[in-house]
Structure 1
């Protein structure tokens, strides 16, 4: 992982798989600077090389979605972004982050499909027989995961485990807010000829205990987007699920890496195709 930038007036706090966090050097300023890098991750590994301009693309899309879902409290605050990270950073309030990734699945694919094939369930939730890869689920599912520390693998957990982690009232709030945000975002995407197959949200609480959507929201990194027309007409899973996200990266890794040791470097054509799909998603959503 590359070293964090030196940004005048800001002190580096933490680097995740994709984002770097900074605190103001002014003790009176409690805001956090959230900088999206060009790093790309898959299967809990940061890969090489990064995706050119990915940080700007993710920030553009997150900001666009935050603006459309602004009736739900989020972490964005007003202020000037330092020139060094202009276009790929957001100013945010400091939150107490909850250790739960709030995944919502509206369609069956990926690890959910693999589990369904094996036992007819997704994250332990029984589903009807006869579903095909890429099918729409009878209703969206809330399938949370435990946010593992850096370097460890996230773990799918039951709703009961979420209750143990954050309490019954907060767990219900996480579930209901996530499902509501997904439904609204999926409807907006549908108007643009896109399917929001699944996504994940992260939440934190402010000093008053208010739950706020944080980190990124509904980006190509945190979501699966498909072309609706291709999904309706496709005869194979690959045709049905023509994606606007990092599925290209996942697919290449799955074909060229046995998940042992460090993953191989991404070829130039995979990097270029991924960047193109990220840009196309933004163009289609914001047109």
Structure 2
């Protein structure tokens, strides 16, 4: 059993959620340096990324984007594959695609949960998952869940139930971030908001649209603007939110979102949790 003592000093952390579309910008080019620059400019300490490639295919030049971004930004990294394919040759790395968490703070433990698929005859049947990381921020521990859910109603319902179940029993303050592929008035998002606070609604910014990213196509004379919000950061009642923002950029088809969070109720641990205790968090 880990001993606990009095309340720790208030801990604040800036969190980002960003579907990077494997670095594919609205101009049709893949440029991971532009993605890294957006993350760097945000000054976020914990970043939840969706649609990240690892040696996946020629579309991203077979780059390990998790390793590349981690090195470029000088951050710790965790990855959870939702697609994990056989390599073309025994000496080649496995092509993978999924969710990643980058952190300025030490990642003490992480695990990947594959969600149950609901196969339908019409629709994109893609494996989905939830990446959980326990992160030590200034002596306090935070659980971060990163996900990218299906837009099919049948599967979204199943996934939300699984997500709430997985995150339901956690000893540390919880943040849930990701691309939910559902607008705020969707019944499943209402279910989420019964258990966790939507940071943008908390700041009375329900109109903080994230999709599609703004882009002016000069050749086609087309101007795209965000029309819906499908990317979210949720927090439990151990947090308060000081500020939120949507970054305007065309480096992906989604806009990155930010939240400055304050841990209100965390207790400082007198001992480092064991791996077993982190697994049970």
TM over 0.5: no
Higher share of residues assigned helix: 1
Which protein has greater RCO, CA pairs closer than 8 Å, 6+ apart?
Answer: 2
Range into which the TM-score falls when normalised by the shorter chain: under 0.3
